[in-house]
Structure 1
Amino acid sequence: MEKRPTALVLGAGIMGLCTAWGLLREGYSVRVVDQAPPPNPLGSSVDHHRLIRHAYGAQPGYMRMVDAAYAAWDALWTDLGEVLHVPTGVLAMDEAGGDWIRASRAALREDGRAITDLSGAEVTARFPYLSGEGLDSAFWCPEGGVLLADRIVAALARHVVARGVVIETARAVRVDAAHATLVLEDGSRRSAEVLVVAAGPWIPRLLPSIGQRVTASKQVLVRLAPPPELAETFARAPMILDLSGGFYMVPPVAGTPLKIGDHSFSLQGDPDDPDRTPDPREAERILELARRRIPALDRFTPLGAASCFYDVEPEERFVVEKISRRAWVMSGFSGHGFKFGAVLGQRLAQAIAKPELEAFIPAWAAGDEVVSA
């Protein structure tokens, strides 16, 4: 029997597991190392949901990458035997008529996307559980939805393990990129022909050179249950991006809670801090951002707040590049990387298997619309 090439992946979040999935499809024997079994509750990928949408402001490369992302998710759903995505559409709103909403509208129209401009009164009429008071600009886009993040990570881990991937629970303390090797906490080593480091907010500790470009950022989100009389209404609601209020809302689809978060990055905190208890004042600040748009918010039942960590690149451009002849890093995914997990893992695996594709990956992953061979 022909010997299969070997790959080692650090990180069993969405990026690491999707890369393992891609490498498996390219014929590699894969080992994944993570400090906790997936889905790791401390990982950036592990929450009830993440959003997928085409609206991307002045970043048309990422807007167009969403089509490739959907195609990759479809391939993954086929392999998993289930679809873990709920279509919702996107409602974007802004009081100030800011650059993001103008650029998103222009890019979507130029790309032939179906969007509908709405006035504040039309927002309230179409979505009577919301208030359009004071809005300068809004649009509705029927494309977009919710990825059931923790279910995806769990199902993906089961899938790759069933097909021979080894997932080892161990903490890596050092990366030897030149030799495609990880040094573990107990002093032992794991090596392969190729190494992929997809360690999320732990990247700065393990790869200081990348740590100069990305920052771990503690983010707070709030989970709520709508009152019984609004439960079905909000389960059918779109995702909401309120640029002036500075919040986003994920509807309570498929039995998940409703989630509200903000658009700003704290750019502080330590992902190894054992106490991730959110400051109640931060949770209240996030709720205050949403009250004007969701008039019934104070009737919702609080289900708690949570903290997660992102790895943030200043311009929110993904870092997917070689760090040695035998090693790659995946980093800088902030809050918008999950939607691209399947396609990034798929394309990186293809580039590892076919080195002639390597040169295209970094710029493409950074949103520069480079067309690969």
Structure 2
Amino acid sequence: MPSALVLGAGIMGLSAAWGLSRAGWSVTLVEQDPVPNPRGASVDDHRLIRHAYGAAAGYMRMVDEAYAAWDLLWADLGEVLHVPTGVLALGESGEGWLAESRAGLAAAGHAFEDLAPGELAARYPMLRPAGGGEAFHMAAGGVLLARRIVAALARHLRRRGVAIEPGRAMAVDPARASLRLADGATRQADLLVLAAGPWAPRLVPGLAGRVVPSRQIVVYLEPPPAWRAAWAAAPMLLDLSEAGGFYAVPPVVGTPLKIGDHRFSRQGDAEDAREAGAAEAEAILALARPRLAGAAAYRVLGARACYYDVTGDERFIVAPLGPHAMVMSGFSGHGFKFAPLLGLAVAREDRSGLAAWAAGEGGPLPG
């Protein structure tokens, strides 16, 4: 049985281990922190899955494949950790991300409904159609319960016989498919998969500069009583203006309402504390207030930072490092939805075309 060594037990490393184990590999997974890792970008209440993708038509096309991979994972886990919500996309004008998403969705035959400002206010009274603006609603899309997914997948892998070992990698040798750990020990296998998130640029030659850590702040809110029922039934909200939009995740299955900035700071260090400062939280609230009716009545429950690994063009890096190693990196804020699909792809015997496909450059994965 071939052996695989996976570094990192975030959603990408766990998904790679899942795909490899299903394909018949003996897998060892090495993680520096507890699993689920409270410092990991994967470990939050939720992540989003949706087809609206601006001009990134390659990733829009991958979403249907991603849904199929999630269905396979749900069958393995014995539970579905996804809440359908639909998508509400907003914009100050019909240009930019909103227009590009409309065009891409229409070309691919995905159904969506345009909403005039008056319709927006009537359907979603907790929102203000700031500046008039434009909007569309899409029934497909939902919330992935990220923290629960990571925990359930780790449990499943252990049941499958995947070894999850503690260890902090200090150096990697792609040619030998090996890791040197902080305690001086080494680990080696037939295949090494590096899925170390924002820590990866320190370890992988050539990745530093292409991928940078990015400190991202999210704020958790309790809506005022008048709007709680509306938010509980709300779709995910994407207001992705480059001038300062935000996203909002509705309070599903007991989670809080969450808002964040879709833009990337491209600043900070993965070792930084995850507590968010008051000024950081206020910057996110300032983005959302123009869209929230009665914004002053919302109660702030907390705020935290997570660290993404970000490329300049927000394209994923899933590429070989020689014949015995691979790197999975640069997943920005939008990689979670594709994790099981990418894990299955890494486990393929034929990985030709994988790098271009994962970068959103083509159609279905070749082969």
**TM-score band, normalised by the shorter chain?**
over 0.9
**Pairs within 5 Å for 1:226-305:** 226-244=223-241, 245-273=244-272, 275-305=273-303
- Match of residue 353 from structure 2: 360
Q: Deviation at 1:292?
A: 1.3
CA deviation string 1:120-177 (max 9, x = no partner)? 1111011111111323321111110000000000000000101100000111111111
Q: Distance in 2 between matches of 1:38 and 1:256?
A: 20
Q: Deviation at 1:219?
A: 0.6
The answer to whether structure 1 residue 339 and structure 2 residue 337 are counterparts is yes
CA deviation string 1:293-336 (max 9, x = no partner)? 11133222211110000000111000000012100000000000
Q: Distance in 2 between matches of 1:136 and 1:260?
A: 20
Query: Percent same amino acid at aligned positions?
Result: 59
Q: Distance in 1 between matches of 2:208 and 2:39?
A: 19
**Partner-residue secondary structure (3-state), 1:190:** strand
Provide the alpha-carbon RMSD of the alignment.
1.1
CA deviation string 1:66-125 (max 9, x = no partner)? 000000000000000000000011111111333211110011011111101111111101
Q: Distance in 1 between matches of 2:206 and 2:351?
A: 20
Q: Distance in 1 between matches of 2:295 and 2:209?
A: 40
The answer to whether structure 1 residue 306 and structure 2 residue 304 are counterparts is yes
Aligned residue identity for 1:331: S
Q: Distance in 1 between matches of 2:257 and 2:106?
A: 30
Q: Distance in 1 between matches of 2:130 and 2:29?
A: 50
Q: Distance in 1 between matches of 2:3 and 2:187?
A: 11
- Match of residue 42 from structure 1: 39
Q: Distance in 2 between matches of 1:179 and 1:298?
A: 58
**Partner-residue secondary structure (3-state), 1:358:** coil
Aligned residue identity for 1:157: A
For 2:120, which of 120, 123, 134 is the aligned residue? 123
Q: Distance in 1 between matches of 2:361 and 2:266?
A: 25
Q: Distance in 2 between matches of 1:242 and 1:52?
A: 15
Contact 1:120–1:134, Cα closer than 8 Å, also in 2: no
Contact 2:125–2:293, Cα closer than 8 Å, also in 1: no
Q: Deviation at 1:229?
A: 4.0
Q: Distance in 2 between matches of 1:98 and 1:272?
A: 38
Q: Distance in 2 between matches of 1:269 and 1:335?
A: 16
The answer to whether structure 1 residue 316 and structure 2 residue 314 are counterparts is yes
Comparing 224-233 and 337-346, the one that deviates more: 224-233
**Partner-residue secondary structure (3-state), 1:324:** coil
- Match of residue 14 from structure 1: 11
**Pairs within 5 Å for 1:22-33:** 22-33=19-30
**Pairs within 5 Å for 1:126-165:** 126-165=123-162
Q: Distance in 1 between matches of 2:336 and 2:53?
A: 15
- Match of residue 5 from structure 1: 2
Contact 1:86–1:253, Cα closer than 8 Å, also in 2: yes
- Match of residue 175 from structure 1: 172
Q: Deviation at 1:246?
A: 1.1
The answer to whether structure 1 residue 221 and structure 2 residue 214 are counterparts is no
Larger relative helix fraction: 1
CA deviation string 1:9-28 (max 9, x = no partner)? 00000000011000011001
Instruction: List runs of 5+ in structure 2 lacking aligned partners.
Output: none
Instruction: List runs of 5+ in structure 1 lacking aligned partners.
Output: none
Aligned residue identity for 1:296: G
Contact 1:90–1:238, Cα closer than 8 Å, also in 2: yes
Contact 2:276–2:305, Cα closer than 8 Å, also in 1: yes
Q: Distance in 2 between matches of 1:102 and 1:143?
A: 18
Q: Distance in 2 between matches of 1:59 and 1:74?
A: 24
In the alignment of these two chains, the number of paired residues is 364
**Partner-residue secondary structure (3-state), 1:311:** strand
TM-score normalised per structure 2: 0.97
The answer to whether structure 1 residue 106 and structure 2 residue 98 are counterparts is no
Aligned residue identity for 2:361: D
Aligned residue identity for 1:309: Y
Contact 1:311–1:332, Cα closer than 8 Å, also in 2: yes
- Structure 1's consecutive aligned runs of 4 or more residues displaced over 6 angstroms after TM superposition are none
The answer to whether structure 1 residue 74 and structure 2 residue 71 are counterparts is yes
Q: Deviation at 1:265?
A: 1.0
Q: Distance in 2 between matches of 1:246 and 1:229?
A: 24
Contact 1:119–1:132, Cα closer than 8 Å, also in 2: no
**Partner-residue secondary structure (3-state), 1:254:** coil
Q: Deviation at 1:359?
A: 1.4
Q: Distance in 1 between matches of 2:188 and 2:363?
A: 32
Aligned residue identity for 1:261: G
TM-score normalised per structure 1: 0.95
